[in-house]
Structure 1
Amino acid sequence: MTRTQMPTASAQPVPGPSGRRNATPVPGLRERKKLKTRQTIRREAYRLFAGQGYEATTVDRIAEAAEVSPSTFFRYFPTKEDVVLVDEYAPVLAGALESRPADEPVVDAIRHAFTGSLAQLLGADRQELLFRTRLAFAIPAIRVRAADQQLRSQDAVAALIVERTGREPGDLEANCAAAAITAVFSAVVRHWTESGGAGDLAELFDRQLSMLSAGLRI
């Protein structure tokens, strides 16, 4: 989850645990323009990173290529590292989890929600994801930020476990389970990246989370 940067979910209603569909507002014109600008900045940044290297690419050069001002760049991405680290899979996972039965074991709920969403999203974004994760593992400044991001992801998963199980905030078992889940995500993404994107990433997640589910009963 941490190093897996995910594209934005489409604005479609998401079925809740009771089977009702929670209406998700359709983005207005202003939001669509902002999304288009964000995508343009990121696309031009990746093109420049691939052509001249991450370190050699300045924010000014990215802004020029995207035809925006540097101040506009910083409105969308606080730092150059954020172009790589921006995590847009969270809305996808959160929405997908709402459709899982409330009494389903947490690891299984995450496995079904995440792998189902990932399988659909990777079709269009597989190469971009592979490029981004390579940068996340290769660039020291991004690695440092990614480690901090992984801790935040772990806290978010722990909060999800607490919410779904009725445990107290700060519960040790919830925190340990969250640490195990985020470690699996990181290990799978690293394996997939180092193999050059070989194999189906959704299937890799499904297989390894299944193994984890057999040992975690929470």
Structure 2
Amino acid sequence: MDQPATGLRERKKARTKTAIQQHALRLFKEHGYQATTVEQIAEAAEVAPSTVFRYFPTKEDLAVLDSYFSIADAMSAAIAAQPAGMAPVEVVRSAFRGVFAGMSPEDRAARYERDLVMLTIPEVWAANLSLIAKSRRMLADAMQARSPGSRIVADAAVGVGLGALLDWAQDPQGDPAEALDQAFSRLAEFLS
């Protein structure tokens, strides 16, 4: 009987944390990182500043996106689920397609906004350099588990993917998942 209440409480905490960070990223985009205050974030999220600090001990922590609409676990599972015998780049391409196709429109929009803020606001970019390295390791480990020696595909995918996202961030009207898919398709063609 106590288990569902704990689950509900944890889900509510997760929603509150996500809402706070979502408002913070929106305000960073609208006003700039330096000009945005924790008080403004708290007001936008309809919580007290002390609640913001409970979830994010410093303003800098609001810019760290490790768990904010992360696709890391879904990508690892999607890579592992790809059929045997696929070319390594096609494994990555198909996994990305599957992960994005499985997201709700709201989660997909939040993920795109997350990536746009990370790519265009220097303070958020700097706060997430370790996230890029972590994503590279995760992708490399998932590829290595499928096919020894395919870790290098992770580096190619990260580089090509980052390039596609940086291009998209300059004109964010299109679909970044489509831009990634096209970039991986070109990489596969180049390597074949």
| 1:50 positional shift | 4.4
Identity among equivalent positions (%) equals 30
Q: 2:86 is paired with a residue of what secondary structure?
A: coil
Relative to the length of structure 2, the TM-score reads 0.76
Larger relative contact order (Cα-Cα within 8 Å, sequence gap ≥ 6): 1
Report the counterpart of residue 162 of structure 2 in structure 1: 186
- Alignment match of 1:214 (pick from 163, 179, 189): 189
Q: How does 1:133-172 map to 2 (within 5 A)?
A: 133-167=115-149
Pairwise CA RMSD: 3.1
Counterpart CA distance in 2 for 1:81 and 1:183 is: 22
Counterpart CA distance in 1 for 2:97 and 2:112 is: 17
Question: Structure 1: which amino acid aligns with 2:77?
Answer: G
Please state if 1:30 is matched with 2:6. Answer: no
> Residues 85 and 142 of structure 1 are in contact (CA less than 8 Å); yes or no, is this contact kept in structure 2?
no
Question: Structure 2: which amino acid aligns with 1:195?
Answer: D
**What CA deviation, in whole Å up to 9, does each residue of 1:10-35 have, x standing for no partner?**
xxxxxxxxxxxxxxxxx931332122
Counterpart CA distance in 1 for 2:191 and 2:104 is: 28
Report the counterpart of residue 95 of structure 2 in structure 1: 113
| 1:79 positional shift | 0.8
> Residues 164 and 180 of structure 2 are in contact (CA less than 8 Å); yes or no, is this contact kept in structure 1?
yes
Counterpart CA distance in 1 for 2:65 and 2:176 is: 22
Structure 1 residues 197, 76: closer, same or farther in 2, change over 3 A?
A: farther
| 1:82 positional shift | 1.4
Please state if 1:73 is matched with 2:55. Answer: yes
Structure 2 residues without counterparts, runs of 5 or longer: 1-5
Report the counterpart of residue 13 of structure 1 in structure 2: none
Structure 1 residues without counterparts, runs of 5 or longer: 1-26, 168-172
| 1:215 positional shift | 4.2
Question: Structure 2: which amino acid aligns with 1:62?
Answer: I
**What CA deviation, in whole Å up to 9, does each residue of 1:89-147 have, x standing for no partner?**
11222232343113323221121121122134373245544443333233222222333
Counterpart CA distance in 1 for 2:190 and 2:184 is: 10
Please state if 1:103 is matched with 2:94. Answer: no
Structure 1 residues 29, 55: closer, same or farther in 2, change over 3 A?
A: same
> Residues 89 and 184 of structure 2 are in contact (CA less than 8 Å); yes or no, is this contact kept in structure 1?
yes
Q: 1:144 is paired with a residue of what secondary structure?
A: helix
Counterpart CA distance in 2 for 1:214 and 1:97 is: 20
| Segment of structure 1 superposing worse, 79-88 or 96-105 | 79-88
Q: 2:61 is paired with a residue of what secondary structure?
A: coil
Question: Structure 1: which amino acid aligns with 2:159?
Answer: A
Counterpart CA distance in 2 for 1:47 and 1:120 is: 24
Structure 1 residues 73, 56: closer, same or farther in 2, change over 3 A?
A: farther
Q: 2:93 is paired with a residue of what secondary structure?
A: helix
> Residues 85 and 136 of structure 1 are in contact (CA less than 8 Å); yes or no, is this contact kept in structure 2?
no
Report the counterpart of residue 3 of structure 2 in structure 1: none
Report the counterpart of residue 24 of structure 1 in structure 2: none
Report the counterpart of residue 8 of structure 1 in structure 2: none
Report the counterpart of residue 20 of structure 2 in structure 1: 41
